């Protein structure tokens, strides 16, 4: 094992540096590679093509670390040039994290508060359409008005809701303005 390390240490370091493009990350990666090599010493007693095997261990370790970092990320990381990793492996998990869930809950509470501040006719229209998911025709029948009136009320309700949200400093953070 010592002879293997002496012979290929510089090669592995340069390969790690080429992959990571960062000295500290290259050293961490190299440490992980040699750790895997030491752990597999008993299983791979007589390796014919040591350099090729070490290169494979290094590449696989780099891919594993890269995928792990991408999964932790909320965004897709740019793929370095020459990296032989499928683009699908770079896509972050669809599962929402605790921070994202808390933010959605906060936004929902603020939205409910602002809807409660609307005039009753607009509040009812918004609730029928978005909460109960009634069609415009069903809302018109329920409220005994024309479909055009429902459309107008829905438009005005959304405008008023947006004004209320923008006026509230905390709520305005959740609004995307075009």
The predicted pLDDT at position 144 comes to 95
Structural domains of the chain, with CATH: 2-90 (1.10.1740), 98-172 (1.10.10.10)
Give the model's pLDDT for residue 88: 47
For residue 133, give both structure tokens: 């998911």
pLDDT at 72 over 90: no
Q: The tokens of 109 are what?
A: 């509470």
**Is 160 a residue whose pLDDT tops 80?**
yes
Instruction: Tell me the per-residue pLDDT of 33-71, one tens digit each, with 9 for 90 and over.
Output: 999 888 887 666 566 788 888 898 899 998 888 777 766
Q: Which of 115, 125, 161 is nearest to 146 (CA)?
A: 125
What is the Cα–Cα distance from 141 to 146, expressed in whole angstroms? 8
The reported pLDDT for the residue numbered 98 is 64
**Least confident among 33-37, 89-93, 133-137, 157-161:** 89-93
- Tokens 């415009």 correspond to what residue? 136
Global pTM exceeds 0.75: no
- Between CA 160 and CA 115 the distance in angstroms is 9
Three-state DSSP state, 78: coil
pLDDT at 139: 93
Residue 31: pLDDT above 90?
Answer: yes
| pLDDT-above-90 percentage for the chain | 27
pLDDT level of residue 147 (50, 70, 90 thresholds): very high
Query: Tell me, what's the pLDDT at 93?
Result: 52
Residue range 135-161: average pLDDT? Answer: 92
Q: Do residues 13 and 62 lie in contact, with contact meaning Cβ atoms separated by under 8 Å?
A: no
Report the distance separating Cα 36 and Cα 166, nearest Å: 55
């Amino acid at each position: 094992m010592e002879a293997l390390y002496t012979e290929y240490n510089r090669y592995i370091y340069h390969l790690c540096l080429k992959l990571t493009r960062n000295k500290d990350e290259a050293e961490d990666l190299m440490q992980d590679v040699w750790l895997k090599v030491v752990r597999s010493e008993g299983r791979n007693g007589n390796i014919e093509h040591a350099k090729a095997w070490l290169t494979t261990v290094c590449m696989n370790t780099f891919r594993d670390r890269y995928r792990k970092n991408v999964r932790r990320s909320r965004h897709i990381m740019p793929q370095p040039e020459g990296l032989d990793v499928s683009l699908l492996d770079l896509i972050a998990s669809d599962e929402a994290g605790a921070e994202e869930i808390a933010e959605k809950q906060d936004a929902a509470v603020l939205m409910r508060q602002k809807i409660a501040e609307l005039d009753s006719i607009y509040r009812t229209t918004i609730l029928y359409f978005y909460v109960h998911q009634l069609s415009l025709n069903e809302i018109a029948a329920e409220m005994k008005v024309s479909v055009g009136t429902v459309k107008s009320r829905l438009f005005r309700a959304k405008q008023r809701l947006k004004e209320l949200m923008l006026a509230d400093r905390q709520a305005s953070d959740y609004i995307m303005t075009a």
